[in-house]
A and B are shown apart, each in its own frame.
Chain A
Amino acid sequence: MHNPALVILVLIPLVGALAVFSLKQEQAKLAKLISLAVSLIVVVYTGALGIAYDVGSQADRFQFRGEWTWIKVFNVQIAVGVDGIALVLVAMSVVLVPAVILASWNAFDSRSGAEEVVLPGAKQRSVKNYFALLLLLEFFMIGVFVATDVFLFYVFFEAMLVPMYFIIGSFGGPRRQYAAMKFFLYSLVGGLLMLASVIGLYVTTGSHSFSITYLIAHPMPDNATQKWLFLGFFIAFAIKAPLVPFHTWLPDAGAEAPAGGAALLVGVLDKVGTFGFLRYCLPLFPAASRYFAPTILILAVIGILYAAFLAIGQRDMKRLVAYTSVAHFGFIGLGIFAFTTQGGTGAVLYMVNHGLSTGALFIVVGLLIARGKSRNVDDYGGAAKVTPILAGLFLLTGLSALALPGMSTFVSEFLVLVGTFTRHKGLAVLATTGIVLAAIYVLYLYQRTFQGPVRESVAKFRDLNAREVFAVAPLIALIIFLGVYPKPVLDVINPAVKATLHDVHQTDPVPQLGTAGGVK
């Protein structure tokens, strides 16, 4: 198995990043163009892979597999491959990158002064480094989803922190040093616990293999060791996701990161956590997953409600969006650990939709902040009359965040709730109230910023130009398209989720998606 397709996909952004790093400081314009071109090439390439992906394949769980020996002493391979879950997440990530690049086109040009909160020293920020870091981040993001070797995954998982750390620390808001440090340390602690589990897994399986396909085929015996190893992985992913109570870094990091960085941080990096639940926690530690599932489900529901209340109370717009994400991750966690096909499929679709919708939300919030130079909701009001296009896009992304029917987020939220309801009725009912709270925080935010009398400071706002519209519009188009016609994506996700549930020895209490009737 030496299919180079995925390795090429991973390497394109890396080559782009190195090319942009090697440019001169003055060649900012060229840096932007190269970055955009590279990110679009990646989108096209991923699209081609998506077409080549065999949805109905029964032969192999992972497709486009490539395996090469990396470190023989540790039995580590450069092993890549995608199943339905990984494929849709890669697709979501690569779509988000050009949007972010477009949206932050002028964010750090001293000339236009479009940086949201003007800081001393902002002029000296290296524009090309920002775009190079974005591409470097894309390299790690794709790598982390396509890796099918636990060691390789860990390498990407940890190394991914470095570009994000520099994006927050060098280009973020006033408290960027604190936020960058907090982000890095939280993730690092989780990562190191996971490393302990990775080593433990390697040593206790006796086979001394890191290959996921091997580990899935040879699950561990149900014992205390399995629970410990599960916890190592779980805490790492729960911090990354983040699941309450491991979430406290996200509001800081999300608020201080530049809007584009925040979109990728919450849209993609955090998905690595929930992706990790599905790819590593469930198949590798089936018994422990079942053992801990009730606790995790309760945490997820607490997260949904608690974060939603906190979001309602926020005046800092970026913090607000960050808290909405914590609530959404509660839904994803719920869907995954409900152990039903609907729940699992819904959770994966939720990850994709949330990436697109929160990514878009961070971008439009960033565009608004770039105009008002403040993250505080109270500094805005009546902007809809001045900037109708921005208001329209803001409302659409907001509605997708509250899962309005017709938006793709509705499909996924509905699936998660139905999937949960079949197994845990009470939790599903509690979680459903989260939807009401979501309506409150989204509409309340929109009302305070865009409705009402036009404030003096808002009156001079410039509406979106074509570039800014092009950054957001494709994301919204995708959200609506998937809301109306989610079948192609669901068809890709479904077999992978079924396979994962099979690994945890769980069958649905109710019939599968798309089949009618039936009893338990």
Chain B
Amino acid sequence: MSHLLLAETAPIHAPSVAYSSLSPIFIVLGAALVGVLVEALVPRAERYAVQMVVTIGGLTAALVAVGLLHNTAETTVAGALAVDGAGLFIQGSVLVLSVMSVLLIAERSVDVGSAIVASAAVVVGSPTDRRLARTDRVQTEVFPLLLFAVAGMLIFPISNNLLLMFVALEVLSLPLYLMAGLSRRRRLLSQEAALKYFLLGAFASAFFLYGLALLYGYANSVDLPAILNASKASPKSDVLLYVGLALLLVGLLFKAGIAPFHSWTPDVYQGSPTPVTAFMSSCTKIAAFGAIMRVLYVGFNATAWNWRPIVWAVAIASMAVGGIFGLTQTDLKRVLAYSSIAHAGFILVGLVALDKDGIASVLFYVLTYGFSTMAAFGVLMLVRDADGEATHLAQWSGLARKSPFVAAVMTVLLLSMAGIPLTSGFIAKFYVFKAAFHVAAPLVVIALIFSAVAAFYYLRIVVLMFFAEPPENGPTIAIPGWSTAVALTFGMVVTVVLGIFPQPILDLAAKAATLVG
């Protein structure tokens, strides 16, 4: 009771805000608001071009701001936000990859209009819906939606305050739920994906909130450093701490698509418009890993002995689910979804290390994986038949005969995901395994075995593309517009260059491997 009385009487001090350190977030949010105004004020014919300029301009400006902040290491807003190396690296990665996503979303030449439906609220199968599918009308709300999601992703990994982290989680999730339902083709699947993602996501958020409440009960604070101090000093029972952490992790693991909280991933990846899937599989994952890393490293560093086995278990579960269930898939988007689950497991292996090397390796991994997966989804957009994208495996057989170039690009990306040397995927895998080896050698060996399992389904796609005969009436390869071509080329070049000359980015990741508490 006395607390409450005190709170009523004590004056409230507004915390100081380091506006410059948070400028990337403000820039992206500002661009998003401008985007909303554009929707309201600019004539329909010009909206597309204007939105492109606003979105890409905003993201690029934010990226520049992140670059200018590179030496920052401070907490601000009363310790709720920590602008530090790791946070900025994650922010930079999210921004670069979101620019690529925007380029993929902006693709207008492979499908009538774009991959995004003109009006998502129309009843599926109604005459209006069928008419909409044929028009080249595009709706451009997706750009501000994406910007809001990106803003959430920028706050999420730098939150040292769990309540703020929860807000960021919601800010990034809500636009994503909507974007999942925007597919122009296969509307029903897309709406199912959106609803499923929303329901399960809301559920996961509730877990997060519950965990947060328990942690507040334990530490009397929702700041991560305060929780750390409480766990170091406290003679009281740890039950609240660990139950709280467990529930918190449910929410976080869900967002990162880690088994056993992965079941939404294949359905949502399959149903969402492919460029949006590319965005989710790279940017959301990166942001979520940034947050997981911060929670575990800043808030629970002292209690690592207790949570490490759990991370081991979910890492193994994730690699097993991703590797084994991936083998049975026949749809390429689902294959890539399971691949992303398996990769989440590999990234967790790096997290187990709990040192600077661990942070740097995770940073490098999420970035390189983001590029590969983004480009792979980009390639998926190009292989089409009359019904839209031809994502069934059988439709990909003999693809190399039709377009050796597209098949070669896909092969490089798949080899990178399989971790074959001379691609970025190998360097990334090597780095996380090296970082984790001294604390978790058996886990590394298990991870290597599952890399071999996962390699099987990547190779199966290569076998199909190169060694099998093309089917009658197979899909055609669309000629991409400039924006997709740029995004694809960039993803592919980065994948190869970081496989051969990874030094600059490795240096950057090593330099960025600091988390301030």
Contact = CB atoms under 8 A, between A and B. Distances in A.
B415 interface: yes
A188 B422 CA distance: 15
Nearest to B422: A159
B415 A195 contact: no
Interface in A176-192: 176-177, 180-181, 184-185, 188-189, 192
Interface stretch (A198-206, A350-358, A389-397): A198-206
Interface string A404-435: 00000000000000000000000000000000
A169 B469 CA distance: 12
Contacts, number: 89
Contacts of A161: 420
B415 A162 contact: yes
B445 interface: yes
Given A73-B506, A159-B421, A199-B430, A166 B466 contact: yes
A309 interface: no
B506 A71 contact: yes
Contact of A169 (B438, B449, B467): B467
Interface in B433-485: 433-434, 437-438, 441, 444-445, 448-449, 451-452, 455-456, 459-460, 463, 466-469
B401 interface: yes
Give chain A's interface residue range (CB within 8 Å of chain B).
Answer: 35 or more
Contact of A195 (B422, B430, B455, B456): B430
Nearest to A124: B401
A196 B433 CA distance: 8
Contacts of A158: 420-421, 426
A180 B445 CA distance: 25
A476 to B, nearest CB: 34
Nearest to A161: B420
A199 B451 contact: no
A201 to B, nearest CB: 10
A124 B404 CA distance: 12
B441 A200 contact: yes
Contacts of B460: 181
B430 A74 contact: yes
Given A73-B507, A162-B415, A162-B420, A177 B444 contact: no
Give chain B's interface residue range (CB within 8 Å of chain A).
Answer: 35 or more
Contact of B463 (A162, A169, A192): A169
B434 A202 contact: yes
Given A71-B506, A73-B503, A162-B420, A170 B430 contact: no
B30 interface: no
Contacts of B455: 184-185, 188
Contact of B421 (A121, A155, A202): A155
A487 interface: no
A473 interface: no
Contacts of A202: 434
A195 B419 CA distance: 11
Contacts of B441: 196, 200
Determine chain B's interface SS by DSSP, over half rule. Answer: helix
A192 B467 contact: no
Given A124-B401, A176-B467, A185 B444 contact: no
B459 A181 contact: yes
B510 interface: yes
A193 interface: yes
B502 interface: yes
Contact of A192 (B415, B434, B449, B506): B449
B448 A193 contact: yes
Given A71-B502, A71-B506, A169-B467, 16 more contacts: A72-B506, A126-B404, A155-B421, A158-B420, A166-B466, A177-B468, A180-B467, A181-B459, A185-B459, A189-B452, A192-B449, A193-B445, A196-B444, A196-B448, A199-B433, A200-B441
Closest 6 CB pairs of A and B: A155-B421, A192-B448, A169-B467, A73-B506, A158-B421, A159-B421
23 contacts: A71-B503, A73-B360, A73-B431, A73-B503, A73-B507, A74-B431, A74-B434, A120-B469, A156-B421, A159-B421, A162-B420, A176-B467, A177-B467, A180-B467, A181-B456, A185-B455, A185-B456, A189-B449, A195-B430, A196-B433, A199-B437, A200-B437, A203-B434
Interface of B: 360, 401, 404, 415, 418, 420-422, 426-427, 430-431, 433-434, 437-438, 441, 444-445, 448-449, 451-452, 455-456, 459-460, 463, 466-469, 502-503, 506-507, 510
